[in-house]
Structure 1
């Protein structure tokens, strides 16, 4: 073995590499945590806390009434329930439809199966903004403008990314499971619901988290389709947060913290399955 190879594998070289990686991850973590900590500080500060230079990280007095006042300004209870109803419905629609479509492409031979798969892959590359105007025109023509239907209906036709994940995951499950179930008299629906899906719980949880997060944070579609402010979800209400004399920033930051809370709860509650889902996708040949 050459001296260069010995040097490359020496303990001191590995230690330097570990220090560099640790420093990089530390800087990356701080850059992500800093805005959240600053938001928490402003949410607990008085009205002038945002403009202090340098920032005051520990307020002398905690103004918890910022959360109450901010919630009143956007009618938090109503817009929260709107967001919850939309996000839960979209999540159910996207996950169930993607499971069925992914199963069909992965486990049921039919003419043009690969073509359909490539079609879904190609649609992932198409920005949603491209189809916004024609889709808006269709929904407006059939009288669904200013309703939730233009947001909810597309969810039940599958999510291209989720279909791709399902196809990759299902393709890695041995076909012997299907054959054994068919011997017992199971049809495709029973095979999917009783064999494939129970073996894919981490994948399902991963899709639920990603779908709920995407729907909860969706801003453009509700803004385009919903004129009635009583139908607005939380994302649009928060983005439109402004008083008669400008934005009250401590109230605004307090509302944003409340806006983040359901996503944090969902992630930490399902973190175990989410990480298993990512790991199983990696092992299933996702390339």
Structure 2
């Protein structure tokens, strides 16, 4: 059952479950989509998250109790509607074990659970993989779904489409770093992330991507319509690349000529539950 609360005078907060699951995420996504489609007078912002959501409203236009009542009505509608989204899948090239994240993680080993190795070494050990190559293969082996965008502008939270027992798990640093390379591909808890800007952070660093995901100047071709690439419900397919490919892609980005691989896709949660591998193949086949 959804737990509702008010956040000050301007927010309705709904917690769908104590932990992330595809069912909880899809329910929250359905509710927030219905709130947007209803065009409720006074609603100023709607935000879907991993297993919760929040609606911001103007209390001078709509009373908090009335806002809550409307959201609960839409929740009833969401529970009986199809768990189906029209969305996108984005290929994210990743240079794993790159020199920039390596230099950064070595500067902060005293803040880490295992100062004797790298972040990949540590994550590989606690997840039972024999080599870093096996962990990397598991990381890019299946698509991920964007469950939330935020914390800093454009930063996506990703949840892998594998059985719960196969989820990569890795705690954050004991103390956060004061530096993380821009576009670092990282992992914390059960969630992946891509750091949209350089800054502080605590997730385990795996590699770096040349793909711009946040561009306030909107000079990149794939960010002309929106300065933020991802939105909740998008899918990501990681693709490992080497240094030469990374450098070539980075040069294309610098020249504003990089062509992101993005495909449109229809995703049904019921179909995924009935045929996980078949649904994943359809997702991957949507990439151009």
- Report the TM-score range of the alignment, normalised by the length of the smaller protein: under 0.3
Higher-RCO chain (CA-CA 8 Å, sequence separation at least 6): 1
| TM-score, with length taken from structure 2 | 0.27
Larger strand fraction of residues: 2
Q: Which has the larger radius of gyration?
A: 1
